[in-house]
Copies of this chain bind each other. A is one copy, B any other.
């Protein structure tokens, strides 16, 4: 995934619409959380089995909400100058130390 290219597109998109003024880290994190809940809403009344079949019924909605979560995350990461891949790799490394294989938390 070309994170930098996507961030650039999203930055231009916000600038062209004069939305940068709204994009404080606090507001972007709120928007990210709201989009995560819109994704959650799709699943709220489903059984675990129905949730595993979600793509046969609501694939477009699911992809749309996943994209919205990522869009606000990419805006946030751009604004805060976070190395996204580095942050994920660092966290996986810490999780490897924290949870040995066979541990029962998830």
Contact = CB atoms under 8 A, between A and B. Distances in A.
Interface residues of A, number: 71
Nearest to A80: B55
Interface string A11-53: 0010011110011111101111110111111111111100110
B54 A71 contact: no
Copies in the assembly, this chain: 4
Given A1-B85, A55-B81, A71-B91, A39 B29 contact: yes
Interface of A: 1-3, 6, 9-10, 13, 16-19, 22-27, 29-34, 36-48, 51-52, 54-55, 62-64, 66-71, 73-74, 76-77, 80-82, 84-85, 87-92, 95-96, 99, 101-103, 106
